[in-house]
Amino acid sequence: MEIEKTLFDAHRARFSAIDRLLPEAAPAPVAGERVDAATAAGVQVTGVVQRQLHGPDDVPLLWSAADARQLFPFIGDTGTEGMDVLLRAWRTWLDAESPGEDSSCVVNWPSRDAEAIRAFLDHGLVPMSALAVRTGGAHDDAAENDVTVRRARAEDFEEVLAMAVSTHDYIGQVATRRRSNAAELLAPALEQALDKEDPLLWLAERDGMTAAFAHAAWITSSPGSAEAELLPLGRWGYVNNVVTVPGLRGSGLGRTLMAVVHKEFSADGASGTYLYYNPTNPLSSVFWHRQGYRPLWTSWEVHPASALR
Ligand SMILES: CC(C)(COP(=O)(O)OP(=O)(O)OC[C@H]1O[C@@H](n2cnc3c(N)ncnc32)[C@H](O)[C@@H]1OP(=O)(O)O)[C@@H](O)C(=O)NCCC(=O)NCCS
């Protein structure tokens, strides 16, 4: 979709001023529907809305509504007012639709744009998840405790699946919706990962029992790729799923496990590591910040979509 050049240039300049870690702002998506608005001074702003529908067996249901509408805003340097009028226009646009219960409105936006946050909150959006990159490493040391960390193997499948489901169940309380078929949705990717020679799956054991689990992957952000719209170019360690058994949380297991994961990624030449976490998760939001991660993009969402104000 064509965005007016002066608006797009202002958009690009704004992104690079907000956060030095953001890659150059991506052009407007090719497909989607256009929403237009103007500020009181007559400055035009615009957005593209894309709709994603997921069936009951689709993996994105682990973090997304079944019927998700995402707005890609282009507000140049109009700040709170520009985002506010655009969200207002989107609200009016939604009046003609009848989204069901399992639906959402989503805007993924640079975390540090404080002016936009005012508008997101005023329209009923909440910070549902954040993409965070590791810029510090104060706690790279393992905690002092009797823990063994090892790579998971094919025979650990049931254990690994149970741990991955328990992360999903916990997040179901504090952020995105819990899915009753989470095990079926998670199993294929875990099976595939365990099939590899050196699976990026780790188990921390205490007294021979599983105490914590981590699942990671390599992700390359190359010019023109979808990843390059979010992350600086490079070969990144992606931390996908981390959990400690409930009764053992807060005793240094997460720290010990992540010390191994970070060390292995850095030894293998990672440009850096990143992950998604939920700012409303009372445990992980503290844990990941202490581990040196900070938000780059925040996904502002309202569920169901009809609750957009
Ligand atoms: C996030 C999580 C994996 C962290 O693992 P953990 O084993 O509890 O982590 P640690 O004990 O190493 O570190 C927790 C920190 O909180 C502190 N803490 C103190 N009491 C705590 C408690 N009762 N519960 C949790 N953390 C506590 C620890 O001292 C530690 O701080 P430090 O880094 O300054 O030492 C764990 O809380 C968890 O499983 N949460 C539920 C699932 C989840 O949210 N996963 C992450 C998805 S992104």
Q: Give pLDDT tens digits for 232-259.
A: 999 999 999 999 999 999 999 999 999 9
Ligand 1 atom 3: the closest Cα is on which residue?
Answer: 243
Helix (H) / strand (E) containing 294: strand 293-302
Give 169-205 pLDDT, tens digit per residue.
999 999 999 999 999 999 999 999 999 988 999 999 9
Helix (H, G, I), strand (E, B) or coil at 115: helix
- How many angstroms separate the Cα of 30 from the Cα of each of 5, 24, 52, 196, 259? 16, 17, 15, 36, 41
Segment 35-40 mean pLDDT: 98
Question: Cis ω on the peptide bond leading into residue 304 (within 30° of 0)?
Answer: yes
At the second CATH level, the architecture of 148-291 is 3-Layer(aba) Sandwich (3.40)
Closest CA to 63 of 184, 185, 157: 185
Question: 291 CB under 6 A from ligand 1?
Answer: no
Closest CA to 278 of 140, 162, 172, 166: 172
Question: Two tokens at 298?
Answer: 């925040």
pLDDT at 66 over 60: yes
CA–centroid distance, 299 to ligand 1, in Å, is 23
pLDDT at 139 over 60: no
| Closest ligand 1 atom to 284 CA | 1
Give 260-303 pLDDT, tens digit per residue.
999 999 999 999 999 999 999 999 999 999 999 999 999 999 99
How far apart CA 62 and CA 172 sit, in angstroms, is 9
Segment 63-88 mean pLDDT: 98
Segment 152-171 mean pLDDT: 98
Residue % of the chain over a pLDDT of 70: 98
CA–centroid distance, 250 to ligand 1, in Å, is 5
pLDDT at 209 over 80: yes
pLDDT at 138 over 80: no
CA–centroid distance, 7 to ligand 1, in Å, is 44
| Closest ligand 1 atom to 256 CA | 12
Could you tell me the residue ranges of all domains in the chain? 5-131+300-307, 148-291
At the second CATH level, the architecture of 5-131+300-307 is 3-Layer(aba) Sandwich (3.40)
Give the pLDDT confidence score for residue 1 in this predicted structure.
79
Counts for the chain of helices (H) and strands (E), in that order: 7, 11
Give the pLDDT confidence score for residue 77 in this predicted structure.
97
Give the pLDDT confidence score for residue 301 in this predicted structure.
98
For residue 252, give the DSSP letter: S
How far apart CA 260 and CA 199 sit, in angstroms, is 14
H runs (alpha helix) in the chain: 5-18, 79-94, 114-122, 157-174, 182-195, 253-267, 284-290
Give the pLDDT confidence score for residue 237 in this predicted structure.
98
One fold for 5-131+300-307 and 148-291: yes
Give the pLDDT confidence score for residue 144 in this predicted structure.
65
pLDDT tier for residue 2 given thresholds of 50, 70 and 90: confident
